[in-house]
Amino acid sequence: MNLMQTQMTAPAAHIDTIAYAIGQSAIGKILAARSPIGVCAILIGSDTDALEQDLAERFPGKVLVEDEPALRDDLAAIARFIETPGIGLDLALDMRHGTPFQQRVWDVLRTIPCGATISYTALARRLGEPNGARAVATACAANAIALGIPCHRVVRADGTLSGYRWGIERKRALLDREAAI
């Protein structure tokens, strides 16, 4: 039993269990996590321990269980999407772990087509919050479902790349792959 499995001591019947697994992709390690509702996290990084810690911090009080067989198909779909973004990423998502505003931002992000980008300001306007670019950026940073909620498609008003939770180079690589389709 690892640290992630021992986080909670309450009976599992009374709390959510989140299964997770870590795989490899063209842009680094990917952690996929699934609640009973759907994929609740896709995290990207270089270090397994850091990914597990990030998951634990995003889901305090949840029982986290490493379960590679249960997540094998999700990891394969995510890796395929990174390699060939035009195929899309059709996974059931669990987006309950955000504020109502964050969920609104994430819903709009899911409508941005592969290969397209939107500015933080334009996204804020689309939400009816013309002065909400910073709030939009904060909602993007809070997104735990990389790729499933494509916050990598949000850029500065001048089209340049800015902050990405998993690194600007990964954002650039994802956008370059999408632009090539």
The domain limits of the chain are 3-87, 100-179
pLDDT the model gives residue 167 = 87
Query: How many residues are given for the chain?
Result: 181
Q: Which fold has domain 3-87?
A: Double Stranded RNA Binding Domain (3.30.160)
pLDDT the model gives residue 15 = 55
Local confidence pLDDT in tens for the 181 residues of the chain? 344 443 433 334 335 899 999 999 999 999 999 999 999 999 999 999 999 999 999 999 999 999 999 999 999 999 999 999 989 898 999 999 899 999 999 999 999 999 999 999 999 999 999 999 999 999 999 999 999 999 999 998 888 888 778 888 999 999 999 988 7
CATH for 100-179, among 3.20.20.60, 1.10.3720.10, 1.10.10.10, 3.10.310.10? 1.10.10.10
Active site residues: 151
Task: Starting at the earlier edge strand, list the strands of the sheet with 17-25.
Answer: 39-45, 28-34, 17-25, 63-66
First to last CA, the chain: 43
Q: Given the DSSP bridges, would you call strands 118-119 and 63-66 parallel, antiparallel or unpaired?
A: unpaired
Contact between residue 41 and residue 62 where contact means Cβ atoms under 8 Å apart: no
